[in-house]
A = this chain, B = another copy of it.
């Protein structure tokens, strides 16, 4: 029997101080009531999931390759799926593709192999909260790169790179989480050129790219990086990540990282120590779905989210006071509101619960703080009626605070 109460906190590694639960997440628990219309979650619409197709694919895989699907497999991932992804990229070598357990794992592994404590990591202002959670345990210092409607401000970035040596820059060029903004072609080219010239790795996270409602698909930073490297994959300084979570379904946890061979090899070794490999069955299910279901499903999601975005844009026009501005996303799941300077969205959320509406305050998306007067809305999971009522309620609570 122990004599006195043992505390365990002193045994934690220093990096564990950077591993915390966000206060916003705690706040959002208050909004998880059935009568609240929530635009807070970043979830895909579950009513669109291809449930029967997943069921059929699972039966096929288990009937035809059951023992293989349930056995341990290679860390690199299911070879046919890697080859399919390579073909999607154009002429990329399938050896440079690593299947991971959701994009979140890709972010963690990249943080693990790249970040030394104190390393400078450039992120968009604002940026994806989950990326900060993945990188922070490796104890980087964040550099918040100015952005505008066209994405990263490349002139400001170049000034910054003249003074500071960044290890890598993390960017979401398409329908960014949280803002919904898309990086222009000109900015993409400049970003790839500047980072290449300064020897800074560029990490492109592209979970939403296929969910475009209007306009052309611009080239990925990865493909521009390959061009910059004269077509030599081993020289591409852009690392690309995407996922099947937003097109097919997130519950299978299958995503991938495409990187030059040196980085790919180290990622494979890191993944071996982190979880051996992504679930074999899940990778084989996804491979069954990429040929027909994925295309159909992507079309469906694009159509439905496009309609929901339209409903939300109309409701915002109808109910929000003129003092509030918002982005106009060409795809994806998110829309970003900027309130008058004096308004704090964290305070607003507490009031909004009484108005039966919820959103995510902007603050946690800013690596170095700021953005107290911003908030993120997701339209992926709400129907026309919910959007109309929810945005109506949001308009009321904002107006009350003007």
Q: A interface vs B, CB < 8 Å?
A: 1-2, 5-9, 11-16, 19-21, 43-44, 46-47, 49, 51-52, 54-55, 58-59, 62-63, 66-73, 101-102, 104-105, 108, 112-116, 119, 130, 133-134, 136-138, 167-168, 196, 199, 201, 228-230, 235, 237, 245, 249-253, 260, 262-263, 265-266, 269-270, 272-282
Contacts and interface: CB of A to CB of B under 8 A. Distances in A.
Contacts of A62: 51-52, 54-55, 58
Contact of A8 (B115, B245, B260): B260
Contact of A51 (B15, B67, B108, B274): B67
Among A73, A133, A167, A272, the one with the most B-chain Cβ atoms within 10 Å of its Cβ is A272
A104 B279 CA distance: 13
Contact of A2 (B230, B266, B279): B230
Contacts of A115: 13
B228 A2 contact: yes
Given A8-B262, A266-B16, A46 B71 contact: yes
Nearest to A72: B250
Given A7-B262, A55-B63, A102-B276, 10 more contacts: A6-B237, A11-B167, A19-B269, A46-B67, A49-B67, A55-B62, A58-B62, A108-B275, A281-B282, A282-B282
Given A2-B229, A73-B251, A269-B19, A13 B51 contact: no
Contacts of A134: 273-274
* Shortest beta-carbon contacts, A-B, top 5: A51-B66, A251-B280, A46-B67, A70-B251, A70-B249
A251 B104 contact: no
A112 B137 contact: yes
A66 B43 contact: no
Copies of the polypeptide in the assembly: 2
Contacts of A5: 235
A269 B20 contact: yes
A253 B68 CA distance: 14
Given A115-B13, A279-B253, A269 B21 contact: yes
Nearest to A59: B55
B21 A49 contact: no
A230 B5 CA distance: 11
Contact of A43 (B72, B104, B105): B72
B70 A230 contact: no
Nearest to A200: B11
Contacts of A168: 11
Contacts of A63: 55
A319 to B, nearest CB: 29
A47 B70 CA distance: 10
A15 B9 CA distance: 24
A378 to B, nearest CB: 13
A251 B69 contact: yes
Nearest to A168: B11
Among A47, A55, A228, the one with the most B-chain Cβ atoms within 10 Å of its Cβ is A55
A251 to B, nearest CB: 4
A275 B105 contact: yes
Contacts of A70: 46, 49, 51, 54, 249-252
27 contacts: A1-B228, A1-B230, A2-B196, A2-B235, A6-B235, A6-B237, A7-B262, A11-B114, A11-B201, A12-B113, A13-B138, A14-B116, A16-B266, A16-B270, A19-B266, A21-B269, A43-B72, A46-B67, A46-B68, A47-B67, A49-B70, A51-B62, A51-B66, A69-B251, A71-B249, A101-B253, A130-B273
